Structure 1
């Protein structure tokens, strides 16, 4: 995930991000920026096709 904040213009004073799933549960979580930059993986496809809504 390290590339995304750089491309989006992450401000140096930012401390948290909001992660939101696209599945039916519509879960939303606040995550510290430091944790995101360390061990978050952003996935948009699997096995050669776009992720389904059921997968979040």
Structure 2
């Protein structure tokens, strides 16, 4: 995770894996963009997912 210089935007990224069954698994790259709210909580404003190579 990292924040923009102004401190009001941040992002998280990584790889997530979903096991649908014992022999069916998919992995995804993800990116979430967060925005700080007036009450200093964080809200996701964008989500991006792409299928990872097998």
Is TM (by shorter chain) over 0.5? no
Structure number with higher relative contact order (C-alpha < 8 Å, ≥ 6 residues apart): 1
TM-score by length of 1: 0.31
More strand by share: 2
TM-score with structure 2 setting the length:
0.32
User: Rg larger in 1 or in 2?
Assistant: 2
